[in-house]
Amino acid sequence: MATGLLALLDDVAAIAKLAAASLDDVAAQTAKTGAKAAGVVIDDAAVTPRYVVGLSPARELPIIAKIALGSLKNKLLFLLPACIFLGYFAPWAITPLLMVGGVYLCYEGAEKLYEAIAPHDAHKHEAAEMGTSDPVALENQKVAGAIRTDFILSAEIMALTLANVAASNIYTQAAVLASVGILITLAVYGVVALIVKADDIGLALATSSVGLVKAFGRGLVIGVPLFLSILAMIGTAAMLWVGGSILVHGMAQLGFHGPEYFIDTIAVGVGAVSAYLTKVLHWTTTSALQAVLAILIGGMTIVLVHASARLIRRLRPQNP
């Protein structure tokens, strides 16, 4: 009896050690993949604040909460099962699907540029929708647009995570994917909430009787609108960079190495200009060229989308 009890305790201890090792592995893999996805995380944080610009300050945090909830649903309910399924049954489909998402980001980024250059011609359909006097409809449109964009960025994050844990068992994969999805969502939308409420924080600090605090509060009030405008531009650039990067790397994985080789050759040449800034110049040049490619592809997509919309309107039966 005693021997059986000791054996049982040994088994329990072994299981506990195994579980602890598994948790350590999940934690290590989560930290590793989170670091690799840092670039996409920054893009996500830069893109999101533009969806609350122009709306009531009282609705900013609720809107961000809705987008964050939508982001969690994207990652945990759709992308996590899809990653596990595709990783086991159709790994060949992951790259093409990511490239479709890359084209969408190119389209969104290029359309924002077009709208800035020709505001009366570009994005007419969105301008008409956003011109609605119904604040609830406007809010829903903003949230839906943010969640759609988040889906693409989340897919890239989850794909990077899956690639890093591809050799692990399915349980570790699921745990790491879920951990990365939750932690990154909390981090991104926590930062976004702080950014969009910084002006309110500034107003509160500006009423302080302490001179330095009061001055800091006034600086926030004055600087936040400019910062949000700059951040919106960063968000557009981020969409172009990420979209172009997805397409370039996707083409390379499918066997078309020309674009990646061309960009890398130029980046290596530019990086050689300075021995101290080689990595910085290489990364900057690579990102800029990927963004240029994204603008070209996004521009072609805009033409195709608008031409298709006109064709559909012509073919649609007219009401008598």
Indicate the pTM of the whole model.
0.69
Are 116 and 50 in contact by the 8 Å Cβ rule? The answer is no
**What is the reported pLDDT for 45?**
64
Query: What is the Cα–Cα distance from 135 to 191, expressed in whole angstroms?
Result: 25
**What is the reported pLDDT for 165?**
75
The H or E element containing residue 125 is helix 124-130
Q: What is the DSSP letter of 210?
A: S
Are 291 and 247 in contact by the 8 Å Cβ rule? The answer is no
Q: What average pLDDT score do residues 34-38 get?
A: 49
Q: How confident is the model at residue 256 (pLDDT cuts 50, 70, 90)?
A: very high
Counting residues of the chain whose pLDDT is more than 70, the rounded percentage is: 76
pLDDT higher than 90, residue 301? yes
Task: Choose from 56-60, 229-233, 287-291, 306-310 the range with maximum mean pLDDT.
Answer: 287-291
Are 275 and 134 in contact by the 8 Å Cβ rule? The answer is no
Query: What is the Cα–Cα distance from 223 to 206, expressed in whole angstroms?
Result: 13
Are 268 and 286 in contact by the 8 Å Cβ rule? The answer is no
Query: What is the Cα–Cα distance from 204 to 217, expressed in whole angstroms?
Result: 7
Task: Choose from 26-35, 65-74, 199-208 the range with maximum mean pLDDT.
Answer: 65-74
Query: What is the Cα–Cα distance from 151 to 72, expressed in whole angstroms?
Result: 10
Mean pLDDT of the chain: 77
Q: What is the DSSP letter of 87?
A: H
pLDDT higher than 60, residue 7? no
Query: What is the Cα–Cα distance from 145 to 137, expressed in whole angstroms?
Result: 12
**What is the reported pLDDT for 10?**
46
